[in-house]
């Protein structure tokens, strides 16, 4: 390879590295927003919830920036198969992480509504769901950086746990609504929070599927 060719390749590799670093940063930001939204709910902290809503824009902007950079590399570099999988996966992962941040915003908006009255019940399952989502996020990002398909595939089991907890939350809150119709509004908002966490876990499972695709070239669903 000529000196000019090496320089082009080095610049391309650096651009890929920076993209991957920003995917990790985006994931960390989305996870932080999820955590802060649930903490705001636990404390019925409207100001903290409003901060989460405002900061969702940071993740949105980062997603758009990643999209523009991926498009530029696709247009100018004509990547080979392996690099093409990485670029397409970075784009797909950034979409899932942006939507994960949207779910944090949804939790924060529910928190603002729920702050008008005492919480219907002590929060147990919802914080547990959030902890599982954070564990999934860390595993997904580690699998992405380390190209670890086995770790990525393991996320499916935790996603199943999150799904089961969401069902448990729904059933318990349904009992409250049946016994006392005055609780319906508060119960529905808590169910909505659980649904947001379930969807966040689904997006992380999508991230894991993309990691498997990068490593193996096979795009398939982990939860079937």
Extents of the domains making up the chain? 3-216
Compute the distance between CA of residue 202 and CA of residue 136 in angstroms, rounded to an integer.
10
pLDDT at 217: 87
Residue 191 pLDDT greater than 90, yes or no: yes
Which of 20-29, 35-44, 78-87, 116-125 shows the lowest per-residue confidence on average (mean pLDDT)? 78-87
What are the tens digits of pLDDT across the range 80-111? 777 888 999 999 999 999 999 999 999 999 99
pTM equals 0.93
Torsion from C-alpha of 135, 140, 146, 148, nearest 10 degrees? 100
Compute the distance between CA of residue 158 and CA of residue 169 in angstroms, rounded to an integer.
17
Q: Which CATH architecture has domain 3-216?
A: Up-down Bundle (1.20)
Compute the distance between CA of residue 152 and CA of residue 205 in angstroms, rounded to an integer.
8
What are the tens digits of pLDDT across the range 145-177? 999 999 999 999 999 999 999 999 999 999 999
Compute the distance between CA of residue 104 and CA of residue 211 in angstroms, rounded to an integer.
23
pLDDT at 113: 94
Instruction: Name the more confident of 155 and 77.
Output: 155
Looking at every residue in the chain, the average pLDDT score rounds to: 91
């Amino acid at each position: 390879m000529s000196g000019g060719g090496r320089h082009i390749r080095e610049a391309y590799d650096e651009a890929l590295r920076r993209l991957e670093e920003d995917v990790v940063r985006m994931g960390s930001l989305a996870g932080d927003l999820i955590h802060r939204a649930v903490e705001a709910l636990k404390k019925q902290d409207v100001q903290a919830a409003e901060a989460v809503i405002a900061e969702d824009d940071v993740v949105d902007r980062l997603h758009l920036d990643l999209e523009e950079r991926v498009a530029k590399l696709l247009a100018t570099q004509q990547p080979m198969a392996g690099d093409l999988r990485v670029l397409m996966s970075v784009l797909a992962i950034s979409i899932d992480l942006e939507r994960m941040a949207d779910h944090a915003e949804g939790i924060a908006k529910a928190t603002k509504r729920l702050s008008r009255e005492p919480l219907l019940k002590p929060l147990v399952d919802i914080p547990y769901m959030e902890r599982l989502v954070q564990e999934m996020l860390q595993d997904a990002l580690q699998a992405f950086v380390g190209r670890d398909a086995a770790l990525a595939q393991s996320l499916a089991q935790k996603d199943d746990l999150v799904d089961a907890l969401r069902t448990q939350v729904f059933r318990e809150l349904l009992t409250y609504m049946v016994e006392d119709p005055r609780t319906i509004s508060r119960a529905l908002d808590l169910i909505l929070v659980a649904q947001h966490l379930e969807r966040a876990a689904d997006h992380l499972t999508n991230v894991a599927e993309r990691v498997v695709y990068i490593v193996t070239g096979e795009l398939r669903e982990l939860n079937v």
